[in-house]
Amino acid sequence: MLDINLIRENPEAARAGMRKRGMDPSPVDEAVRLDSRWREVLLEAEALKAERNKVSKEIGKMKDKEAREAKIAAMREVGDKIKALDEEIAKLEEDLHAVMSIIPNIPDERVPDGFTEEDNVEVRRWGEHPEGDFYKPHWELGPELGILDFERGVKLAGSRFYVLSGAGARLQRALIHFMLDLHTRQGYTEMYGPFIVRGEILYGAGQLPKFAENLYKDHEEDLYLLPTSEVSITGMHMDEIIEEADLPRFYTAYSPCFRREKMSAGRDVRGIKRGHQFDKVEMYKFCKPENSADELEKMVADAEETCRLLGIPYRLILKCAGDTSETAHISYDLEAWSAGCQEWLEISSISNVGAFQARRAKIRYRPENGGSVQPVHTLNGSGLGLPRTMIAILENNQQPDGTVIVPEALRPWMGGIEVLEKA
RNA sequence: GGAGAGGUCGCAUAGUCUGGCCUAGUGCGCACGCUUGGAAAGCGUGUAUACCGAAAGGUAUCGAGGGUUCAAAUCCCUCCCUCUCCGCCA
């Protein structure tokens, strides 16, 4: 959510941001209109409340019965007016809130123009593409090695589910281990929390109401399965005021992620690229506004280090305005090359969200110099999505004989397995 | 799942029965000042958040949301959470 003061003082900035994303900027005008009407009615209601508070206090001290009754009758009328105005205020607030929550974050000036993936800008590349005519896609390679079972996944839970077994399951666990240890070394604190969260937590992170249909929900309580641990980490400090001395805070967390993928029905159905359940290790930062730009670059470097240590060739993409998440000022994507599918796979998305989520989730900090509290900035980035990292490793590291070499970095957790081969 | 006790401005507590001097008291912590060679102690002052307003000031918030009333921390209803005991079960 943007700051209402910005909408008031510089609505053109918000409009320009929406245009840059290819959106119709009219919600900004609607917000300006609702806000000004809201203030008008609020002023009126508060004046009446001030009067009522004052007179009510007098009534408490009055001895004269008749005069007292007269005042009570008068205040009863004032009370009715207040009630009507309060209802109007509540309605205006609701409408304003609804409009404010569809106005996206303003893209950073470095964000390139454009509305589709085509307009994203490649920043840099690392690593060599494996060349050869023997590279198979993972959906063939995995079952052949006996580590990936699509049929049983479907039997258990339907399409877009799969089962990892033996060395496949172990490889994923090794990756989780490796990433958490790496991020800890990079300065992040490991967190483990609920994989099910309340609706208000999703709201604070900006997932609700917009993405309601993409979430799995408990059938009788206001609880949802996590679509990403970005949500739970944001919620970690919801409604808190953090002392400046306690910033920045860096967190890393492993969690499964659950998504109904309603919006991408029929897309990427093959293999493990897009499942309803996948694991992810997340990086997250809460910091002061003046540091978020630098922290973003550092987080990108942390994600790149993960790829390099695993030997995964990648390219770093700066997303164009139309392709940048609505909560973000600016987003980078890290894409891994997969030799079997012959395509770039998004394995990490790293964003500076600025105050956008913090404002919504009421996460603020108290400056040491005594200034007033203000929203912190938040950043989030995948420390790599596990399935796509698995794809890259399996496909790129395969040998002409159909075996797969385990990256050195993962060996400490592989129990002596250096090569994946048919059991 | 059953029974009970609770949730108050950083922390700890008073206030709730009996609605109005609650503009929420007190202690601790914290900040500043006085005192001191310096410190501790002591003394004094200050110490939530949001919104409206140029300001003065006003409004709201006592777990959340409704209700009663001229007036609600206080009375009523619903919900959330915590603790204790019982039952059941990883």
ipTM of the modeled complex: 0.84
Distance from C-alpha of A244 to C-alpha of A287, rounded to nearest angstrom:
9
Tally DSSP H helices, then E strands, for chain A: 12, 17
Q: How far is the CA of A250 from the C1' of B83 (A)?
A: 33
Percent of all residues in chain A with a pLDDT value above 70, rounded to a whole number: 100
- Whether A265 has a pLDDT exceeding 80, the answer reads no
**Peptide bond just before A375 cis, omega within 30 deg:** no
Tokens 């994600």, located at residue: A303
Nucleotide nearest to A51 (CA to C1'): B58
A26-76 tens-digit pLDDT:
999 999 999 999 999 999 999 999 999 989 888 887 778 788 888 898 999
- All structural domains of chain A, each given as residue ranges with its CATH number in brackets, are 4-100 (1.10.287.40), 117-420 (3.30.930.10)
A19 is catalytic: no
Q: Which amino acid is at A421?
A: E
Q: Which amino acid is at A69?
A: E
Question: Which residue out of A33, A37, A249, A274 is catalytically annotated?
Answer: A274
- Which pLDDT value is given to residue A329? 96
Long-range contacts of A85-90 (CB under 8 A, 24+ apart): A85/A41, A85/A44, A85/A45, A85/A48, A86/A45, A88/A41, A89/A38, A89/A41, A89/A42, A89/A45
A240 is catalytic: no
- Whether A369 has a pLDDT exceeding 80, the answer reads no
- Which pLDDT value is given to residue A325? 93
Distance from C-alpha of A342 to C-alpha of A215, rounded to nearest angstrom:
31
Count of positions (residues) in chain A: 423
- Which pLDDT value is given to residue A313? 97
A118 is catalytic: no
Segment among A132-136, A208-212, A264-268, A341-345 with least mean pLDDT: A264-268
A75 touches strand B (CB under 7 A): yes
- Whether A136 has a pLDDT exceeding 80, the answer reads yes
Nucleotides of B under 7 A from a protein CB: 20-21, 49-53, 58-60, 66, 69-71
A259 is catalytic: yes
A140-176 tens-digit pLDDT:
999 999 999 999 999 999 989 999 999 999 999 999 9
For residues A205-225, average pLDDT: 86
Q: Which of A308, A303, A357 is nearest to A332 (CA)?
A: A303
- Whether A269 has a pLDDT exceeding 90, the answer reads no
User: Which position has the higher pLDDT, A60 or A195?
Assistant: A195
Tokens 């060599």, located at residue: A128
User: Which position has the higher pLDDT, A177 or A370?
Assistant: A177
- Which pLDDT value is given to residue A316? 97
